Copies of this chain bind each other. A is one copy, B any other.
């Protein structure tokens, strides 16, 4: 940048735009570990990533988001093409698939920022710039195999994050729902709107959903009651058997297809050891229109912000009093791609790519992880369990310091040479950028950074070809509390061995998973 002549010193407010934030410090470290954990799992399953531009041609996004299109950020018309900031990662992926027709199959993940010109509510986590994390499998395969692997990946991710026993995957199938609506007598033209009403069952009681169906949407109350018999069901393979045994449902072609899919999927999920995390939940409907098969949502304790949990008595009372619309608006989290209270969601969408390619359909199944919500929950847990303090701000393993009595020179060239030797061996090391630093200053700098080891140089020791290595923070009385003299020529090996041992011991604590428990 060139310093212009029209500089005005702080004639303006120093801030970031509304609804955006700087990621820094421990938040940045924790977030990076979460992203790294998730990415490792994707790679373990052969996924690749694609990086699309932050802005797309305006017309690519137009007409894709219904009413929410008003939330799209446009670039100013400065001549040339009209562009908009991406609103999600799904449309750019579908656009890419349509542009690259030679790609008939791909497993891709994409962790990146998306933009929504929404009213920000930072305390509720609703931002104008926020991260999405999408994983999608495109291509034609034998039925339910990619679907099963996505759910396996989902469990691997939450297990790796340390959430074992704390999350449930709710699962349902669009075709089963459609079949239920058909056999209950919902008119064809009301199926989508009734489906949206059902989708609210995670935060509204059935009485309220039933009222919406009959009063707001004009459904025959008798039909609503029939729906109620189905959509309040949940279970596992037992529920599937029950539905399969239901002759009315089995006679419906759509329901039959959906139940067959689920039977096959449950077989695969048993082999993948995923079934114990599954809740087959007939109330799960997912708001988005484009799903064509299995749909799922991951919920965890505390995944809904307290104020948004419709299950709280206050919220239920508010809803009963007809304050639903306002509550709905308040409930919107920063990532509408996952439902309220969920930390990941997705499903099969076999007809979306055709919107761009016109001709070729590429079947897809995917999941979006609400990474900012996962971050918030992880951080809140770490703070509650006081593990956040242990997060190291940088990755330095060794702080190189020096001490001496009267006439101490600072041993700067010696410290630099030791640091260089460590760097050459790939060891993460720092030293004080002072010519003559005091020993307490150096210790303080190392402690502030949470550096686990110090190499301490002294003139006499150096003459003997020795340096001292000291593990920081050892308790009083520990035999190595004051450090150990080692041969300088052996320093790299000693450091590597000790750092490896330290990391092995602290591996559990280093993982986001463990610190979040």
Contacts and interface: CB of A to CB of B under 8 A. Distances in A.
Nearest to A426: B44
Contacts of A87: 1
Interface string A266-282: 01100111000000000
Interface string A33-73: 00000000001111111111111110110011111110001
A363 B156 CA distance: 46
Contact of A99 (B14, B59, B115): B14
Contacts of A1: 64-65, 87-88, 90-91, 288, 290
Contact of A43 (B22, B96, B395): B395
Nearest to A32: B49
A24 B18 CA distance: 32
A contact face: mostly helix, strand, loop, or mixed? loop
Most chain B Cβ neighbours within 10 Å, of A22, A69, A427: A22
A24 to B, nearest CB: 5
B271 A52 contact: no
A288 B17 CA distance: 27
Given A45-B423, A423-B44, A55 B14 contact: no
Interface in A75-126: 75-78, 80-81, 83, 85, 87-88, 90-91, 95-96, 98-100, 113, 115, 117
A29 B85 CA distance: 25
A74 interface: yes
Interface in A175-229: none
Contacts of A287: 2
A435 to B, nearest CB: 5
A9 B146 CA distance: 27
Given A44-B428, A76-B73, A433-B146, A53 B2 contact: no
B63 A16 contact: no
Contact of A60 (B12, B355, B430, B435): B12
A246 interface: no
A152 B14 contact: no
B141 A16 contact: no
A32 B60 CA distance: 27
Given A17-B81, A156-B423, A417-B271, A430 B46 contact: yes
A445 to B, nearest CB: 10
A73 B73 CA distance: 13
Contacts of A152: 420, 423
A145 interface: yes
B10 A358 contact: yes
A129 interface: yes
A17 B434 contact: no
A7 B355 contact: yes
Nearest to A153: B423
A142 B428 contact: no
Nearest to A31: B51
Copies of this chain present: 2
B73 A288 contact: no
A169 interface: no
A247 interface: no
Given A46-B394, A57-B12, A95-B14, A63 B6 contact: yes
Interface string A128-172: 010000000000011001101100100010000000000000000
A24 B312 CA distance: 46
B420 A272 contact: yes
B54 A54 contact: yes
A57 B43 CA distance: 37
A28 interface: yes
A453 to B, nearest CB: 13
A471 interface: no
Contacts of A83: 17
A289 interface: yes
A160 to B, nearest CB: 10
A67 B6 CA distance: 11
24 contacts: A1-B88, A1-B90, A1-B91, A2-B66, A4-B63, A7-B355, A9-B355, A12-B59, A14-B95, A16-B53, A22-B51, A22-B52, A28-B49, A44-B427, A46-B396, A47-B394, A54-B54, A73-B75, A73-B76, A75-B85, A76-B77, A271-B417, A271-B420, A272-B416
Interface of A: 1-18, 20-25, 28-29, 32, 43-57, 59-60, 63-69, 73-78, 80-81, 83, 85, 87-88, 90-91, 95-96, 98-100, 113, 115, 117, 129, 141-142, 145-146, 148-149, 152, 156, 267-268, 271-273, 287-290, 352, 354-358, 393-396, 413, 416-417, 420, 423, 426-430, 433-435, 449
Given A3-B64, A47-B394, A271-B417, 10 more contacts: A3-B290, A16-B53, A17-B81, A17-B83, A18-B81, A22-B52, A28-B49, A32-B49, A53-B129, A271-B413
